[in-house]
Amino acid sequence: MGNRTFTMIKPDAMKNGHAGAILDRILKEGFHIKALKLTRLSPEKAAQFYAVHKDKPFYAELVSFMSSGPIIAAILEKENAVEDFRKLIGHTDPAKAEPNTIRKLYASSVGENAIHGSDSDENALIECRFMFSALEEY
Ligand code: UDP
Ligand code: MG
């Protein structure tokens, strides 16, 4: 699984019409899309996905934001996928993100920051399984 990561284009980027540009950029950076779906997270599912943050002050707002509209979820493949994709999306806070990263280009705040990327191979596998239950098909 070292060559795979999991992403979600978040509700803000969907609403602002950036999904096409973001997917185009991901492909141009050499990631292959192994699975993709347009879906919407229920509050329960968003809470479960971000359970690691349940004690943080921003948790309730995060769960509400992530379930506020459609998202695109995808499994991406590339050598060194997790690290390279984190580099491509940039810092959690777009104000601190490097130039030309996806968050610098498309995010408006630390909360509504356009895109998710897994932070480890272990979490990539957990997150891919969470959103694509029949993972062996991909
Ligand atoms: N988040 C937030 N406020 C913060 C930090 C994070 O609203 O101060 C949100 C933001 O949407 C972020 C998500 O919680 O993407 C998960 O936080 P994490 O620290 O895991 O950042 P990421 O891995 O997404 O860069
Ligand atoms: Mg994270």
Q: What is the pLDDT along the chain (138 residues), one digit of tens a residue?
A: 579 999 999 999 999 999 999 999 999 999 999 999 999 999 999 999 999 999 999 999 999 999 999 999 999 999 999 999 999 999 999 999 999 999 999 999 999 999 999 999 999 999 999 999 877 777
Whole-number pLDDT of residue 114: 98
Of ligand 1's listed atoms, the one at least distance from the Cα of 119 is 23
Whole-number pLDDT of residue 135: 74
Looking up residue 41, the CATH number of its domain turns out to be: 3.30.70.141
Would strands 4-9 and 71-77 be described as parallel, antiparallel, or unpaired?
Answer: antiparallel
**Length of the chain, in residues:** 138
Considering the domain boundaries, does residue 136 fall inside one? no
Considering the domain boundaries, does residue 63 fall inside one? yes
Domain count, the chain: 1
Within a 10 A sphere around the Cβ of 40, how many other Cβ atoms?
14
Nearest CA to ligand 1 atom 18: 92
Point out which residues pair with 36 in neighbouring strands.
74
Q: Is 116 one of the annotated active-site residues of the chain? A: yes
- For the chain, the maximum distance between any two Cα atoms, rounded to a whole number of angstroms, is 39
Residue numbers of the domain that contains 113: 4-131
Sheet architecture: strand order including 4-9: 32-39, 71-77, 4-9, 115-117
Considering the domain boundaries, does residue 137 fall inside one? no
116 Cα–ligand 1 center, Å: 9
Considering the domain boundaries, does residue 97 fall inside one? yes
Of ligand 1's listed atoms, the one at least distance from the Cα of 112 is 11
Name 26's Cβ contacts closer than 8 Å, sequence gap at least 6.
Answer: 7, 33, 76, 88
Nearest CA to ligand 1 atom 3: 111
